[in-house]
Chain A
Amino acid sequence: MGKALRTFTDGFLRRREASVLLVALGLMVYFRAASPVFLTRENLINIAQATAPTAIVAVGIVLLLVSGEIDLSVGIVAAFAPFLLHFAIDFYGVPVLLAFPLALLIAAAIGLLNGLIVTKLHVASFVTTLGTFFAVQGLLLITSHAYPVPIPEEMRGRFQTWIGAGPWASITWALIIVAIFHIVLTRMRWGLHTISVGGNPVGATEAGIRASRIKIGNFMITSALGGLVGIMEAARINTIDPNIGGGTTLTFYAISAAVIGGTALAGGSGTIVGALLGALVLAELQNGFNLIGYSANTIYLILGLAILVSMIANQYLSRLRRAGRT
């Protein structure tokens, strides 16, 4: 019995997601002790709604990081997508259920552009997506005249509730997306090839894997997920805002979530479940310190330190893991 328990805990601790899960639970205990409000239904909804957007974008970021790339433009694509929806519905009379996939498709096309520049023209993804970030931001501000608009009339009602306004809508989408892509990364060919392309680009190509296809696909997935998050958030707050934090905050949160969750920037390894837990940790920190009464400014300082500490711990742990005890 004791031995079985030890094997179980050993196996658990060796999983990359273990440390971040422990942190997420620890924070929950701490904030519950510090504030009785923390675990009330209303506040759990707040946490869920803060976790979901980060987690969904982080799914794409993990795929990209594992395949050895990064996307800094995904946040601005998120800000742009609901405007695409608004233009299609309000200016061209496209029905919602057609405008929605159309907006995601255009978002994915931005990912396609990123992927083509990176793989065919051999520009580093960091620089490429920095370029598309500013380009899309310009496009967004020009077409929207930098003014927020209310969401289209046709979007209201059932679609709005389902896509993001319902209290548990966004987190439900997040969990579904995390589950699907966790399987894609760990149990499907696409994931295996994503790992191969990031872990050993030469070897993967030698084996006949088409690296460009994998990378372009992952850029498209990331951009489409960004677009989805933008539309979800617009539905939730009832407004489409070009100046929303989406531009950089969402991107940085998603990268942080991926990294805190245990995905290496070097490529070849990463975990999507870890990124979800990373997003949860970020949301808990923000929400919890808010409840305790710290100002937003202090929270940034704490967030920064939390990222640094978790990364240092991650380095240390992975060195331990590599050193031994297979």
Chain B
Amino acid sequence: MTTHPLEVIGIAKRFGALTALADVNLHVGRGEVLGLIGDNGAGKSTLIKILCGFHRPDAGTILVDGSEVTLKSVDHARSLGIDTVYQDLALVNELSVYHNMFLNREIVRWPLLSNRAMRRRAEEHLKDMGVNLPDVTVEVAKLSGGQRQAIAVARSVYSDAKVLLLDEPLAAMGAKEGTMILDLIRDLKRRGNVSVIIIAHNYAQVLDVCDRVNLLQHGRITFDKRATETSLEELTDLVVAEYRRRGAD
């Protein structure tokens, strides 16, 4: 049996009387991009919060590289290589791009920060990832939403993340900006050492960038196909059928 960078078996989570997740089985392969879709309230956010160590599941097993773990906190999950990228929340507007890239992982030549080294490495790394910025010394406040998102992703990759969780990375973003992020994800895929789980509403974009698509319904994964084996029509039909069923209830 092959081991996956991240796999969950039988995950359940209840909040009082509400069952957010009933029985979730899901995995992401090495270097794979998994698209997680589902209606509002299907439990996507709860699932992501469990995967990043924020919530503890009531039942089920989490496997990182094949071995069972209990994620104690977001920090703990991060130390295991599972990193979440939140749009905007992650960066400090008042700091430069390179200080943000190295936030809390600064290069220090005691007692001073090695600004030059951090600047050079940030430049190299961003260029390497295909993120074009005029100047890494500029304050993050002066950048666009897409550029900020790209920096946040680049930072996670730089910190040796093995699994990246992207929650709605394209929300509130223009077409050009969205393309930039999609390019970044494609580039990660090409490198093949970082796995990505991406939550998105735009199915066309999901199919465009993902290797595999999972649909979360009523707290269960009800659909799991390779992106090449499904289509925009099929995904749309699935969700529309779900609407109809709910209407009939």
The one of A187, A198, A203 in contact with B90, judged by C-beta atoms closer than 8 angstroms, is A203
The docked-state distance in angstroms from the alpha carbon of A206 to that of B105 is 13
The docked-state distance in angstroms from the alpha carbon of A220 to that of B130 is 44
Nearest CB in chain A to that of B102: its residue: A192
Say yes or no: B138 contacts A195, CB within 8 Å: no
Say yes or no: B95 contacts A187, CB within 8 Å: no
Say yes or no: A206 contacts B95, CB within 8 Å: no
Confirm or deny: A22 has a beta carbon within 8 angstroms of a beta carbon on chain B. Answer: no
Say yes or no: A326 contacts B142, CB within 8 Å: yes
Confirm or deny: A200 has a beta carbon within 8 angstroms of a beta carbon on chain B. Answer: yes
Nearest CB in chain B to that of A205: its residue: B74
Say yes or no: B113 contacts A189, CB within 8 Å: yes
Given that A187-B112, A192-B99 are known contacts, is A206 also in contact with B90, CB under 8 Å in the complex?
yes
Confirm or deny: A128 has a beta carbon within 8 angstroms of a beta carbon on chain B. Answer: no
Contact pattern, A 195-232, Cβ under 8 Å of B = 1, otherwise 0? 11011101110111100000000000000000000000
Nearest CB in chain B to that of A198: its residue: B94
Nearest CB in chain B to that of A270: its residue: B94
The docked-state distance in angstroms from the alpha carbon of A193 to that of B92 is 10
Say yes or no: A203 contacts B104, CB within 8 Å: no
The contact sample of 19 A-B pairs, CB cut-off 8 A, is A183-B112, A187-B112, A187-B115, A188-B111, A188-B112, A192-B99, A192-B103, A195-B94, A199-B92, A199-B93, A199-B95, A202-B89, A203-B90, A203-B103, A204-B92, A208-B78, A208-B104, A209-B103, A326-B138
The docked-state distance in angstroms from the alpha carbon of A208 to that of B138 is 23
Residues of A within 8 A of B103 (CB): 192, 196, 203-204, 207, 209
The docked-state distance in angstroms from the alpha carbon of A197 to that of B34 is 34
Say yes or no: A200 contacts B93, CB within 8 Å: yes
Contact pattern, B 196-209, Cβ under 8 Å of A = 1, otherwise 0? 00000000000000
The docked-state distance in angstroms from the alpha carbon of A135 to that of B92 is 36
Nearest CB in chain A to that of B112: its residue: A187
Residues of A within 8 A of B89 (CB): 200, 202-203, 206
Nearest CB in chain B to that of A187: its residue: B112
Closest 8 CB pairs of A and B: A199-B94, A268-B94, A207-B104, A207-B103, A199-B92, A200-B92, A196-B92, A208-B104
Residues of A within 8 A of B99 (CB): 192
Contact pattern, B 102-126, Cβ under 8 Å of A = 1, otherwise 0? 0110101001110100000000000
Residues of A within 8 A of B112 (CB): 183, 187-188
Nearest CB in chain B to that of A186: its residue: B113
The docked-state distance in angstroms from the alpha carbon of A190 to that of B231 is 52
Given that A188-B112, A207-B103, A326-B142 are known contacts, is A195 also in contact with B92, CB under 8 Å in the complex?
yes
The docked-state distance in angstroms from the alpha carbon of A192 to that of B95 is 8
Contact pattern, A 265-293, Cβ under 8 Å of B = 1, otherwise 0? 00011000000000000000000000000
Residues of A within 8 A of B158 (CB): none
The docked-state distance in angstroms from the alpha carbon of A319 to that of B103 is 27
Q: B residues engaging A (CB < 8 A)?
A: 74-75, 78, 86, 89-95, 99, 103-104, 106, 108, 111-113, 115, 135, 138, 141-142
Residues of A within 8 A of B75 (CB): 208
Could you tell me the distance in whole angstroms from the C-beta of A211 to the nearest C-beta in chain B?
11
The one of A187, A195, A206, A208 in contact with B86, judged by C-beta atoms closer than 8 angstroms, is A206
Nearest CB in chain B to that of A193: its residue: B104
Residues of B within 8 A of A269 (CB): 94
Say yes or no: A203 contacts B113, CB within 8 Å: no
Say yes or no: A200 contacts B138, CB within 8 Å: no
Residues of B within 8 A of A193 (CB): 104
Given that A195-B94, A196-B92, A268-B94 are known contacts, is A188 also in contact with B142, CB under 8 Å in the complex?
no
Q: Which of the listed residues B92, B94, B111 has the most CB atoms from chain A within 10 Å of its own CB?
A: B92
Nearest CB in chain A to that of B111: its residue: A188
Contact pattern, A 240-273, Cβ under 8 Å of B = 1, otherwise 0? 0000000000000000000000000000110000
The docked-state distance in angstroms from the alpha carbon of A195 to that of B86 is 20
Residues of B within 8 A of A200 (CB): 89, 91-93
Could you tell me the distance in whole angstroms from the C-beta of A287 to the nearest C-beta in chain B?
35
Residues of A within 8 A of B94 (CB): 195, 198-199, 268-269
The docked-state distance in angstroms from the alpha carbon of A189 to that of B107 is 9
Q: Which of the listed residues A183, A202, A206, A326 has the most CB atoms from chain B within 10 Å of its own CB?
A: A206
The docked-state distance in angstroms from the alpha carbon of A187 to that of B112 is 6
Say yes or no: B111 contacts A203, CB within 8 Å: no
The docked-state distance in angstroms from the alpha carbon of A74 to that of B86 is 38
The docked-state distance in angstroms from the alpha carbon of A208 to that of B102 is 12
Could you tell me the distance in whole angstroms from the C-beta of B170 to the nearest C-beta in chain A?
20
Beta-carbon contacts under 8 Å, A129-151 to B: none
The docked-state distance in angstroms from the alpha carbon of A207 to that of B103 is 7
The docked-state distance in angstroms from the alpha carbon of A222 to that of B99 is 26
Could you tell me the distance in whole angstroms from the C-beta of A64 to the nearest C-beta in chain B?
16
Residues of A within 8 A of B104 (CB): 193, 204, 207-209
Could you tell me the distance in whole angstroms from the C-beta of B202 to the nearest C-beta in chain A?
26
Say yes or no: B93 contacts A188, CB within 8 Å: no
